[in-house]
């Protein structure tokens, strides 16, 4: 009896997630959610280039508005925390699915019908995704310690909660930090390029007719995110902001 129960198929979402295609779908959907966050975060941060509002830096006004989202319909900080929770879940699922797929691929025997060239290309791409993803994860921890949590030595000595503009200028006035951010954004661009390309594959949108459009989308997204983010630390370092 116990053995029969153990062998029972798990409920739909779990059973689907156990398959390789289920994991690829989760990677694609969570990847899409993370990309949307990265784009919104980047556009929000561009406020660093805007003038002050009533003597307060525009980006500080914006950060406060994020904390006040939907107030008085919801208590302060609640909507922001819901968004943060969604983002954390997306990151955890994305990393778990990537790890589980790697294990599955390792266990699987090579497909006899695939030529050696395809096989090498697939391995090269997934290897690149693994290390660019891992280094980006390390960057993200540094980034949170630097600008959100104010933990030194990642954060500048003058870090103060809520002083987004001042913290921004202080951190990127340090050349090694700016260089680290720019390198991380290049890695993120590489990761997004391959991720955006394979996202369509995972979702079944892979007709050769769309390949040119997929390429334009993947390259465009990678360049936009890399350049759009890197200009901010560089603008501070070169004295254009601050």
**Residues of the shown chain interacting with ligand HEM in the complex, contacts defined by CB under 6 A:** 38, 41, 45, 63, 84, 140, 143-144, 147-148, 164, 168, 181, 185, 188, 229, 232-233
Task: State the minimum distance, in angstroms, from the CB of residue 154 to ligand HEM.
Answer: 12
Is 97 or 188 the residue whose CB approaches ligand HEM more closely? 188
Task: State the minimum distance, in angstroms, from the CB of residue 48 to ligand HEM.
Answer: 7
Q: Is 77 left (phi over 0), alpha (psi -120 to 50) or beta?
A: left
DSSP state of 146: I
Q: Which residue has the tokens 């983010």?
A: 229
The three-class DSSP label of residue 154 is: coil
Is 32 or 63 the residue whose CB approaches ligand HEM more closely? 63
Is 129 or 164 the residue whose CB approaches ligand HEM more closely? 164
Task: State the minimum distance, in angstroms, from the CB of residue 38 to ligand HEM.
Answer: 5
Is 20 or 241 the residue whose CB approaches ligand HEM more closely? 241
The three-class DSSP label of residue 151 is: coil
End-to-end CA distance of the chain: 70
Task: State the minimum distance, in angstroms, from the CB of residue 229 to ligand HEM.
Answer: 4
Task: State the minimum distance, in angstroms, from the CB of residue 121 to ligand HEM.
Answer: 27
Q: Which token pair is 227?
A: 């350049």
Is 19 or 85 the residue whose CB approaches ligand HEM more closely? 85
Non-local CB neighbours of 49 within 8 Å, separated by 6+ positions: 235, 241
Instruction: Tell me how far apart the alpha carbons of residues 71 and 77 are, in angstroms, rounded to a whole number.
Output: 9
């Amino acid at each position: 009896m116990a053995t029969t129960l153990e062998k029972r198929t798990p409920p739909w979402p779990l059973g689907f997630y156990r398959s390789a295609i289920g994991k690829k779908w989760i990677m694609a959907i969570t990847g899409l959610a993370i990309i949307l966050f990265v784009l919104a975060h980047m556009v929000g941060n561009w406020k660093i280039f805007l003038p002050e509002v009533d003597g307060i830096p525009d980006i500080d006004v914006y950060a406060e508005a994020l904390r006040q989202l939907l107030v008085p319909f919801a208590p302060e900080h609640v909507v922001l925390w819901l968004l943060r929770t969604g983002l954390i879940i997306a990151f955890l699922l994305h990393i778990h699915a990537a790890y589980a797929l790697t294990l599955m691929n390792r266990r699987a025997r090579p497909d006899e019908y695939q030529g050696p060239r395809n096989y090498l290309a697939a391995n090269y791409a997934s290897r690149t995704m693994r290390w660019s993803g891992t280094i980006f994860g390390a960057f993200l921890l540094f980034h949170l310690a630097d600008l959100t949590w104010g933990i030194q030595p990642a954060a500048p000595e003058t870090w103060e909660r809520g002083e987004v503009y001042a913290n921004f200028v202080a951190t990127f006035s340090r050349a090694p930090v700016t260089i680290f951010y720019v390198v991380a954004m290049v890695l993120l661009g590489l990761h997004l390029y391959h991720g955006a390309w394979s996202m369509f594959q995972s979702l079944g949108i892979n007709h050769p007719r769309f390949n040119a459009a997929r390429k334009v989308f993947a390259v465009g997204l990678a360049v936009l995110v890399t350049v759009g983010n890197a200009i901010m630390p560089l603008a501070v370092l070169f004295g254009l902001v601050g």
